[in-house]
Amino acid sequence: MSIGLRVAGIAVCRRSMLLAPLFFLAVGFLPAQETQEKVDVDNVSRNYTVHLPKGYDAQQHYPVVILFHGRTQDAEDIERITHFNQLADKNGIIAIYPSAAQGQWNIGVRSEQPSSGMQRRGFGRRGGWGGYPGGGGGGGGYPGGGQGGGQNGEGSERRNRAEPPDDVAFLNQMLDQLPMKYSVDAHRVYAAGLGDGGFMALRVGCSLADRVAAVAAVGANYPKTMICLPSRPIAAIFIDGTDDPLVPYNGGTYKARRFPVLSAEDSTKTWAKFDRCGEKPAQDKIAPLQKGGKETKTYTYNGCQGDAQVVLYSVKDGGNTWPGGESFTTEKEVGKTSQAISANDVIWNFLGKQKLSGENENK
């Protein structure tokens, strides 16, 4: 446990913890709390922040939402950008903010043009298929990842560079540690992220479907070279801006890390195939939250196996940003932050309906 605790946005050191009971009595409720935790992966300490909602009671079991930050960001950035803690306090959610080891997540996709090999799809063995060696058995990786020499000289090429951090192993250890320290509902663990974090949420869906009930990707289309064999049908929601300058809505190259992605609509269609959904999505429009805003189109795939569902929110004029949240850099770099919808509300309304069945829970 960390030596420090943040209470309702105020930093409180261990020396002043004795005053906490008096403070709680004075305000009449148990405020939200934040602690810093760590796990060791391959002899490297990895960190994550735990936000406990207001009124946290260790006798109850709380759903968990893991939020992955974007490239060159950190846990505090995604916490600030999304304002997700406000929703977590209101709905009784434990929010987890992990930190990438080197400023970006190991999403299991190389920064180069796709190979000519066919992409494998469908359900696979428990934990997925492919990925980096030691990646928790893990999906969302290179073709043949962790299987030996690889393709097109990949084996010798990778031996000449350092192995990237094993983020699937990190998340597995984090999920093992959480119930030992906090009262979590293991059937209701979810992953969401923005940009690079959105790609990481998709990799979680590919690799950890036995531990995570559903995923949400904001500003992240499906990478063409990602190998994904989830161990079960897993619900997914995509939220993509039509004017995203980094991840092209109509497909192309993810500019920040130079790998090809499908269009937003094809990304949703691809995931719907993983889940064996109906062939055509139901289409609808959502009125903007603010007067004068643009409508948001939705594409919903139903009839999926395991009661899963796959949805795309097409945010008109939106950028590589969190709708309803804060902008984290210039509009020129990432596009507009739409206020037409609240990504927090949309995501939780979707995720909160999903739950792992007993046989899928990794105990």
Per DSSP, the residues of 248-302 read -TT-EEETTTTEEE--HHHHHHHHHHHTT--SS-EEEEE--SSTT---EEEEEE-
SS3 at position 104: coil
Is pTM beyond 0.85? Reply is no
Cβ atoms within 10 Å of 202's Cβ, excluding its own: 30
Q: What's the start-to-end Cα distance of the chain, in Å?
A: 23
Count CB atoms within 10 A of the CB of residue 261. 23
157-179 as b/e, with b when 16 or more CB fall inside 10 Å? ebeeeeebbbbbbbbbbbbeebe
Residue 153: the pLDDT is: 44
Distance CA 188, CA 181 (A): 17
pLDDT confidence of residue 143: 30
pLDDT recorded at residue 163 = 77
DSSP 120: P
- Residue 268 makes CB contacts below 8 A (sequence gap 6+) with 236, 238, 281, 299, 301, 310, 311, 312
List, for the chain, all residue ranges whose pLDDT scores fall below the cut of 50.
1-29, 113-159, 362-363
| Per-residue pLDDT at 32 | 66
What is the pLDDT at residue 29? Answer: 47
| 3-state DSSP assignment of residue 13 | strand
Q: In the prediction, which pLDDT does 72 show? A: 87
Backbone φ and ψ of 253, nearest 5°: -115, 130
| pLDDT confidence of residue 161 | 59
Q: Do the strands 62-68 and 184-194 form a parallel or antiparallel pair, or are they unpaired?
A: parallel
Residue count of the chain: 363
| Type of residue at 282 | A
Give every CB contact of residue 291 below 8 A, 6+ residues apart in sequence. Answer: none
pLDDT at 110: 81
What's the gap between Cα 115 and its chain centre?
26
